[in-house]
Amino acid sequence: MDHLTRLENKSIYIIREAYYQFKDIAMLWSVGKDSTTLLWLCRKAFFGHIPFPIIHIDTSYKFPEMYQFRDERAKEWNLNLLIGRNEEKLKEGMGPGQGSKLDCCNELKTNALKMVIKKYNLKAILLGIRRDEHGIRAKERYFSPRDSQFKWDYENQPAELWDQYQSMVEEEEHFRIHPILHFTEFDIWNYVKREGLPIVPLYFCKNGKRFRSIGCLPCCSPIDSNAQTIDEIVEEIRISKTSERSGRAQDKENIYTMQKLRALGYM
Amino acid sequence: MSEETHTLPIIIVGHVDHGKSTLIGRLLYDTGCLPPDKFSEIQSSSETLGRNLEFAFVMDCFEEERSRGITIDTTQTFFKTPKRRYVIIDAPGHKEFLKNMITGSSQAEAALLIIDAFEGIRDQTRRHAYILGMLGFKQVCVLLNKIDLVGHSQDKFIQLKAEVIDFLNQLNIHPTFILPISAIHGDNVAKPSEKLPWFDGPTVLQALDTFEELKVEEKPLRLPIQDIYTINGKKIFVGRIEAGHLRKGENVYLLPEKKKVEVKNIKKFLENDVPMAHFEESVGVCLKGRHRMKRGQILTADLSSTISDKIKANIFWMDPKGYRAGESLLFRCVTQEVPCRIEKINRKFDPASMELTEEEASSIKGAEVADILIQLDKKVVVDPFNEIPEMGRFVLEKDGRPVAGGIIL
């Protein structure tokens, strides 16, 4: 079995395990390359009929290309798409220009997600995070319990061995499930290429710049690149010396911002 | 090296402060796998804490880990040599984080055991080595770190090497190499060191490149049923092949009932006719005729598995709380989940002090290992760990939390 096939089969096993353990489950789709890969793996796991909703947390600050891509795929793949927004904070004018990045991410992403989880009474959510993205994410489990306050008790994570995942939760808890934790950025692009997956055009170069990681428009900077095809992106990543999230503002504010965001329940 | 190359997962274990995280930071730095922005983040974090450059911060990312100078949880990072890609799994050295060390080890195919050349073999060296032996690690390389603290002495190295070999052989571990290194100074890590002119063995990197990918051996089919879906009105059961392979049209057994069934179709999304599925593949299967199917049943090629409600096993207790006779547990092996209790503790001991063995015990403490008899509420299907590892290892849960891991004898 080749490397990508092995990664794929492990992810499908985890997705099916998650659905067996939790019927009140949904997948979080940021529309980026990683969660689009996860969405594709969910389609494979359930033979094209995903039996749970797909949630997009909309900060309202996403790129127009992302909204277009989201709506096209939702229609083409017949997804049960739910949109989560923190309307109250958006009305109050919360945005990247106001206050700290930590507050903005916390309100428009984490708290918007809290509202969705509460509204639909979800017990588990599937997320497309990867170990090689960030040192904090490298410490994650495949099945990660969160308490009612969304806190990640990272000093006391459950043991996880031989694909036996903890699946019991207290009344107010939920699980974060990470089926592509073991993929690297390089693996993702090779997989996108192999599977012929559609991807948001922002990843391809325009006027000598492209996005390597996408989120909200005001907080993402493009990198210098001439990569116009998936092959060229694969080659660029292969020789790259900078880290993937170097263009993401929320990681840079303070060295422990990511840990604090994640402890508060950020994805 | 193409994207198809296997990524070899390696665990780094050893006693607290013997230099696991530092070694990983050094490996990444010396092989150019540390992005410059990550490097400057570590530099500034080290300065803020008033320290010299801490290579350990590459892996120790939690604020608490850095300020306390310890590793709390297992972590994974990727790096590459010209030969192949590696996933390096760092494990915490403290006793209270043993479950995290075991979580890391369960995902590795080879191990580096690091021992401080000045301090020698300590409690967690013994515990970690014992776990490696129990999990059946065949590829182990020992690193005698901080060789600078013993004056790069060849005599000291030879003496410690003999002790280590003697100790590991008792656990049935036969190390591929025993190397003198200094992780902090980079001696014999990525390149040979002038300070060790007497040593003509490989560097850590060269030793890693001699490790081999675990070979997939031809074994009889084991396909545990994970779930059953109805797709377009048709029943499909799904599962992952834990041993052997499955062919369309083949006759196989459904256990524990020992019922003979025929494989009508193998299903994969967007693939029309799948004639065969292999080890580690997650597939859908339709059987010919009507059968009562449920999660936890196993499809097998033969009747060589053990089908029983009594299981003899070796376990390691991960939970600090320990076990007292009579407590109810959940046995989980592949997709089988059955309530159970420990009927008998034949023998137990703490691997950190191997001479203190207790026979016929009534409790097991955190970090102890034991040889036990499990009584299950119903029959399960298992194989000996050394024949089909995937069907011969299990987890015990208490109140929904994994508390112990075990292997079947």
pLDDT band at B360 (very low <50, low <70, confident <90, very high): confident
Same domain, residue pair A117 and A211: no
Residue at A246 is within a domain: yes
For residue B229, the chain A residue with the least C-alpha distance is: A46
Residue A80 belongs to domain with CATH number: 3.40.50.620
Apex CA B347: angle with CA B343 and CA B349, to 5°? 125
Same domain, residue pair A94 and A168: yes
Residue B354: its pLDDT value, please? Answer: 67
- Contact between residue B90 and residue B59 where contact means Cβ atoms under 8 Å apart: yes
- E strands of A71-224, at which residues? 81-84, 124-126, 143-146, 174-177, 209-210, 223-224
Cβ-based neighbours of B67, under 8 Å, separated by 6 or more: B49
Same domain, residue pair A161 and A219: no
Residue at A31 is within a domain: yes
Same domain, residue pair A205 and A110: no
How many interchain CB pairs under 8 A, A with B?
Answer: 149
Which has the minimum average pLDDT: A55-64, B77-86, B312-321? B77-86
Q: Which of A6, A49, A157 sits opposite B73 (nearest CB)?
A: A157
The number of folded domains in chain A is 2
The mean predicted confidence, pLDDT, of chain A is 86
Mean pLDDT of A71-99: 89
- Strand B336-349 and strand B306-317: the pairing is unpaired
Q: Which of A3, A47, A136 sits opposite B6 (nearest CB)?
A: A3
Please give the share of chain A, as a percent, with pLDDT higher than 70.
Answer: 88
The token pair at A180 is: 């592509």
Q: Which of A20, A49, A162 sits opposite B231 (nearest CB)?
A: A49
The token pair at A246 is: 């170097």
Q: Which of B6, B269, B280 sits opposite A44 (nearest CB)?
A: B269
Query: In this complex, is the C-beta atom of B72 within 8 Å of any C-beta atom belonging to chain A?
Result: yes
Mean pLDDT of A215-222: 84
Cis? peptide before B256, omega within 30° of 0: yes
Residue at A214 is within a domain: yes
Residue B198 C-alpha, separation from nearest chain A C-alpha, in angstroms: 36
Mean pLDDT of A114-119: 90
Query: In this complex, is the C-beta atom of B224 within 8 Å of any C-beta atom belonging to chain A?
Result: no
What does the pLDDT look like over B194-231, one tens digit per residue? 999 999 999 999 999 999 887 777 899 999 999 999 99
Same domain, residue pair A41 and A125: yes
* pLDDT higher than 70, residue A64: yes
> Any bridge partners for residue B254, and if so which?
B259, B299
Residue A104 C-alpha, separation from nearest chain B C-alpha, in angstroms: 22
* pLDDT higher than 80, residue A207: yes
Which has the minimum average pLDDT: A153-157, A162-166, B94-98? B94-98
- pTM equals 0.88
Residue B82 C-alpha, separation from nearest chain A C-alpha, in angstroms: 13
Same domain, residue pair A145 and A210: no
pLDDT band at A119 (very low <50, low <70, confident <90, very high): very high
Apex CA A131: angle with CA A127 and CA A136, to 5°? 95
pLDDT band at B1 (very low <50, low <70, confident <90, very high): very low
Packing angle between helix A185-195 and helix A33-45, nearest 10 degrees? Answer: 50
Which residue type occupies B336? Answer: Q
Residue at A242 is within a domain: yes
Same domain, residue pair A170 and A242: no
Same domain, residue pair A234 and A258: no
Q: Which of B4, B36, B99 sits opposite A159 (nearest CB)?
A: B99
What does the pLDDT look like over B12-70, one tens digit per residue? 998 988 988 889 888 888 888 777 777 777 777 777 777 776 776 766 666 666 666 66
Distance of CA B279 to the CA centre of its chain: 19
Residue B3: its pLDDT value, please? Answer: 46
* pLDDT higher than 50, residue B259: yes
Same domain, residue pair A66 and A177: yes
Same domain, residue pair A91 and A131: yes
Residue B341: its pLDDT value, please? Answer: 95
The token pair at A92 is: 């109050």
All domains of chain B in start order, with CATH: 7-210 (3.40.50.300), 222-300 (2.40.30.10), 306-408 (2.40.30.10)
Name chain B contacts of A184, Cβ cutoff 8 Å. Answer: 78
Residue at A241 is within a domain: yes
Query: In this complex, is the C-beta atom of B76 within 8 Å of any C-beta atom belonging to chain A?
Result: yes
* A45/B282 CB distance under 8 A: yes
Name chain A contacts of B226, Cβ cutoff 8 Å. Answer: 13, 16-17, 20
Residue A190 C-alpha, separation from nearest chain B C-alpha, in angstroms: 7
Mean pLDDT of A43-66: 93
* Three-class secondary structure of residue B300 per DSSP: strand
Residue A90 C-alpha, separation from nearest chain B C-alpha, in angstroms: 32
Residue at A190 is within a domain: no
Which has the minimum average pLDDT: A160-174, A224-238, B268-282? A160-174
Q: How far is CA B344 from CA B293, B314, B363, in A?
A: 33, 12, 10
The token pair at B103 is: 């979580």
pLDDT band at B161 (very low <50, low <70, confident <90, very high): very high
The token pair at A197 is: 């997956």
Residue at A116 is within a domain: yes
Please give the share of chain B, as a percent, with pLDDT higher than 70.
Answer: 92
The residue that leads in pLDDT, B357 or B60, is B357
Residue B114: its pLDDT value, please? Answer: 95
Residue A152 is part of which domain span?
Answer: 3-183+253-263
Residue B72: its pLDDT value, please? Answer: 63
Packing angle between helix A230-239 and helix A185-195, nearest 10 degrees? Answer: 160
Which has the minimum average pLDDT: A95-99, B77-81, B93-97? B93-97
The mean predicted confidence, pLDDT, of chain B is 88
Enter the ipTM: 0.89
Top residue of B76, B217, B222 to mutate, by most chain A CBs within 10 Å, is B76
Name chain A contacts of B399, Cβ cutoff 8 Å. Answer: 168
Separation between Cα atoms, residue B253 and residue A177, nearest integer Å = 33
The continuous run of DSSP H or E covering B314 comes out as strand B306-317
Residue A166 C-alpha, separation from nearest chain B C-alpha, in angstroms: 6
Same domain, residue pair A234 and A257: no
Same domain, residue pair A218 and A172: no
Cβ-based neighbours of B300, under 8 Å, separated by 6 or more: B220, B221, B222, B223, B252, B253, B255, B381
What does the pLDDT look like over A123-161, one tens digit per residue? 999 999 998 887 778 888 899 988 777 777 777 788 888
* pLDDT higher than 70, residue A102: yes
What's the helix, strand, coil split of chain A in %, to 5? 45, 15, 45
Q: Which of B75, B102, B278 sits opposite A138 (nearest CB)?
A: B75
Residue at A193 is within a domain: no
